[in-house]
Structure 1
Amino acid sequence: MRINKLLSNYGICSRKEANRIIEQGRIIVNGRLCEPGQWVEEYDSILLDNEAIKPKKKVYMVLNKPVGVTCTLSRDVENNIINFMNYPDYVFPVGRLDKESQGLILMTNDGDLGNKILESDNHHEKEYIVTVDKSFEDTFLDKMGEGVEILGVKTRPCIVKRISADTFSIILTQGLNRQIRRMTKVFGYEVIRLERIRIMNVSLDDLQIGKWRNLTEKEVSELRSYN
């Protein structure tokens, strides 16, 4: 595999960050400076800052992201999720939740599991609570559930249920860019509050905004069992 993928799988850094480390001359492979995108084997002698690399302990967390925090690894972006958490080791968000939204974000250093969760063809469920700028009829919920033409495609059918006059829950099995906001806008509504409360088997429950917790062994095992 490429050195970038190996470093990501080991939970050391992101694939993008790996390029920066390589360019700084900090990685030695079998006694020679590593080149960007170099192919390596796990049995190779790979040194980072003159120390042999080894897999980090896998970390699995759920964060209740506040509004205003951006899901990016770039520390140059104001209010990015990494600076917000100030976690001592490398972790990354599994997927995105836009800056104006709040709720559940999975954080991990397990690149393989992260990619599996994000794989669109797996139809993994994500549940949201959405408040729009005015009350709606039941026909709006029906049309949302049937699928909506956005970004040149029709969204997958989804489960939509009324909570109140202007609030509904929605369960998606895909993650198009700003999908819910685009879907509601087609029908003349603007989202004023959007909260993700569940990804697959992991729920926010009573986790407070801005706080995070480690996933239980049962939650991690169930995540791995999904196709």
Structure 2
Amino acid sequence: MCIRERGKEKPDWLSRALARAGAMPQDEADAAIKAGRVTVNGRVATTPLTPVPPDAVIKVDGHPVRKGAPTHVLAFHKPAGVLTSTARQHRTGTVFELLLPQLPLELNRFTWHAVGRLDVDTTGLLLFTNDDKLVAHATSPETNLPKRYVATVFSTADDAKVEPLRQGMMLDDGPARPAMVRVRDEHTVEVILTEGRHHQVKRMLGAVGLPARALHREAVGDITLDDIPEGGFRLLTDEEVREKLNYSGRD
């Protein structure tokens, strides 16, 4: 229930500590704290930002809260037309509105974070986790975790056209790393990146005259959609998180 800074533990804040522990989602934790239902070392805490030392004893309604929680990761098959966001825009819904109602009670207590983003019209694999350190691990370019996309393009694709993507190219926000690219057919291009900037695949393909009509993410690391139906999810095993995402868990 603490976070580390330069190798040292420092106090977490109470509502986030409860969410990290899987006691309840952070918005519910805020309400429970304000209602006087939470104690820290025997004293009622009424502020969600109450500091929680590493050795603190937290109780909700008199019941002790376990310290820490295992890392959980969900693989979700994102459909087109929903935002990777916690808030809808006008009539456009969010991935959380699709995912959260499906979760069993033992998973619904956590606060879930999307691991990266997919554009509103992009489909495919989107990971969610209760571990914000995994988010940083999976989205950092330094991790070199590959993400595999398949683009349906308007123009005719061939190896000559996609070669600049393999060599690395300049985009308007700086140089893009070399990508692994395979032309599956004249209108289908597979692109594997180890970074994930805004609209990156679409911008790279557009720069070589292959604007994308549709984009689908097939894999993150060695995690694939398998048989997950559109809009559905599955819980990854600890072994998958460790071996296929190269993540060993919280420190």
Pairing 1:56-205 to 2, within 5 Å after superposition: 56=69, 58-74=71-87, 78-85=92-99, 86=101, 87-88=103-104, 89=108, 90=110, 91-205=112-226
Deviates more, 1:138-147 or 1:69-78: 69-78
**TM-score with structure 2 length normalisation?**
0.76
Aligned to 1:53: 65
Which secondary structure does the structure 2 equivalent of 1:2 belong to? strand
C-alpha separation in 1, matches of 2:245 and 2:60: 30
Structure 2, unaligned runs of 5 or more: 1-10
Structure 1, unaligned runs of 5 or more: none
C-alpha separation in 2, matches of 1:12 and 1:114: 20
C-alpha separation in 2, matches of 1:220 and 1:183: 30
Distance 1:32 1:150, change over 3 A: farther
Deviation at 1:165, TM superposition (A): 0.4
C-alpha separation in 2, matches of 1:145 and 1:224: 24
Which secondary structure does the structure 1 equivalent of 2:120 belong to? coil
Which secondary structure does the structure 2 equivalent of 1:163 belong to? strand
Cα pair 2:80 2:120 within 8 Å, conserved:
yes
In terms of fraction of residues, the more strand-rich structure is: 2
C-alpha separation in 2, matches of 1:137 and 1:224: 31
Distance 1:146 1:25, change over 3 A: farther
Cα pair 1:11 1:111 within 8 Å, conserved:
no
Listed one character per residue, the Cα deviations across residues 167-205 of structure 1 (whole Å, up to 9, x for unaligned) are 110110001011111212223332111111110121123
Listed one character per residue, the Cα deviations across residues 50-97 of structure 1 (whole Å, up to 9, x for unaligned) are 654334554322111111121123367742111112125033321111
Distance 1:53 1:200, change over 3 A: same
Structure 1 residue 10 corresponds to structure 2 residue 16:
no
C-alpha separation in 2, matches of 1:28 and 1:93: 30
C-alpha separation in 1, matches of 2:222 and 2:122: 20
Aligned length: 226
% identical aligned pairs: 25
Deviation at 1:20, TM superposition (A): 5.3
Which secondary structure does the structure 1 equivalent of 2:160 belong to? helix
**TM-score with structure 1 length normalisation?**
0.83
Aligned to 1:40: 52
Listed one character per residue, the Cα deviations across residues 134-178 of structure 1 (whole Å, up to 9, x for unaligned) are 113322210112222224211111101100101110110001011
Deviation at 1:210, TM superposition (A): 1.9
Distance 1:152 1:108, change over 3 A: closer
Q: CA RMSD in A?
A: 3.0
